[in-house]
Amino acid sequence: MFDSLQDRLGSILNGLTGRGSLSEKDVSAALREVRRALLEADVALEVVREFTERVREKAVGAEVLKSIKPGQMVVKIVHDELIATLGETQVGIDLNAPAPVTIMMVGLQGSGKTTTSGKIAKRLKEKQRKKVLMASLDTRRPAAQEQLKVLGEQTEVDTLPIIPGQGPVEIAVRAEQAARFGGYDVVILDTAGRTHIDEPLMVEMANIKARTKPHEILLVADSLTGQDAVNLARSFDERVGVTGIVLTRVDGDGRGGAALSMRAVTGKPIKLIGVGEKMDALEDFHPSRIADRILGMGDIVSLVEKAAENIDAEKAAAMAKKMQSGKFDLNDLADQIRQMQTMGGMGGMMGLMPGMGKMKDQMAAAGLDDKMLKRQLAIIGSMTPAERSQPDILKHSRKKRIAAGSGTNSAEINKLLKMHRQMADMMKTMGKKGKGGMMKQMMG
Ligand code: GDP
Ligand code: MG
């Protein structure tokens, strides 16, 4: 069994609780374990190196949230970076082209191309009501064309009639013609593989591509592919050009490292995963599931997310205290705006501060949407420290300079200053209402 990354980091980092931020040394120690975990998950070495460097940059100096351990913090950073690398948004098969849309399946022998062809055909037929034609271009293995035919019968998807003696390119061209004449929406070309990457395979794939019009070229790869994943993905992408990746046998005990390797070297999205031999064992790719698999961890991520929420609540409390004292300058406003950004808009921030409904309305009235927040931060960022702490000194020439520096205009600056004044006034009033009053109520 694999130890979870958290277990391993525990001994290195747990002594550090409460130290504040992650030091270079802490991070290096942690990254040695991260590196081992990734290699055990079969992530290719060059990808591991590059990945851990990126994590290092993000982790050194990162604030360790109260109530969680530094090791957990590192796991969270690693997890987030994994998801960013794997691709946060889900990308499906692209059928956005004139019919018939050709999907070409490529990959090594036994990777699951034929099985996946059947699965995709079934899915397109059932979920998207597409009329699909499948054609086997595998003239190398004796029963390959029959294998696809059987899958077609099983899924009730048409397959191109087999004509003995034809080569792969001929079959592909015939398939596209048949699809055009037969009014098909999609034609799936199931190509032949080899046991390993070689020149004849690449030449064959390039020829098929050159003579047909594949809109999607899906590289099918076994999730158990280890260090070879990089070479595999790179070769197919450079020689044939792939538009997406399908990872098969995700139902096995592979740790999913190939997903990271292939995505990292090609930048191409993982579109689907195969999770069994049956025709409906095909799923959309969810990066977080693979990330969890790679790291072998439990619920650390949600634990850290919770801690982050608490920290935000603490910051909100500190801000409220400041308001109470009646001092609320443009630095404070910038902090506030930044927090709103990280918390997914002003709804979240205000949610932490009951009783702030009025302010929320005021900000909405001022047109505070997320794009606006960015411009406002730019304005404040273009001010001198003195201007930020004493907005009263902002006269015409200063505003002109700030407008130029922030790519905005005087009207926007005036709007921001007006909003700040209103907020500051309101806070003073609220603060004056006293200790037993509104502020106390607000902070619970
Ligand atoms: P091809 O040579 O690339 O066409 O590979 P095949 O489609 O013939 O698949 C080879 C073997 O892998 C078959 O026995 C399939 O049933 C099996 N297979 C394909 N995809 C999956 C999958 O996602 N999970 C499992 N467990 N087996 C799979
Ligand atoms: Mg096959």
The pLDDT value given to residue 353: 45
Nearest ligand, CA 280: 1
Q: Is 53 exposed, middle or buried (0-12, 13-18, 19+ CB in 10 A)?
A: exposed
Identify which of 319, 312, 331 has the alpha carbon closest to the alpha carbon of residue 386: 331
Q: Is 404 exposed, middle or buried (0-12, 13-18, 19+ CB in 10 A)?
A: exposed
The pLDDT value given to residue 141: 85
Question: Given CA atoms 284, 287, 291, 292 in this order, what sign does their dihedral have?
Answer: negative
Question: What strands lie across the sheet with 132-136, from one edge to the other?
Answer: 158-159, 132-136, 186-190, 101-106, 214-222, 244-248, 270-274, 282-284
The interface predicted TM-score of the complex, written ipTM, equals 0.99
The pLDDT value given to residue 6: 60
Ligand 2 centroid vs 140 CA: distance in angstroms?
10
Which residue carries 């975990």 as its tokens?
37
The pLDDT value given to residue 444: 35
The pLDDT value given to residue 204: 95
Give the model confidence (pLDDT) of 337-362 as tens digits. 777 666 545 444 444 444 455 555 55
The pLDDT value given to residue 8: 63
Ligand 2 centroid vs 273 CA: distance in angstroms?
17
Q: Which residues of the chain have pLDDT under 70?
A: 1-19, 66-67, 296-316, 319-320, 322-326, 340-370, 430-444
> Which residue of 106, 111, 113, 115 sits with most ligand 1 atoms within 8 Å of its CB, as the best mutation to test the pocket?
115
Long-range contacts of 332-338 (CB under 8 A, 24+ apart): 333/380, 333/420, 333/423, 334/377, 334/380, 334/381, 334/388, 337/373, 337/376, 337/377, 337/380, 338/377
Distance from C-alpha of 143 to C-alpha of 42, rounded to nearest angstrom: 33
Ligand 1 first shell, C-beta below 6 A? 107, 109-115, 193, 248-249, 251, 274-277, 281
* End-to-end C-alpha distance for the chain, whole angstroms: 47
The pLDDT value given to residue 351: 43
Phi and psi torsions of 196, nearest 5°: -145, 170
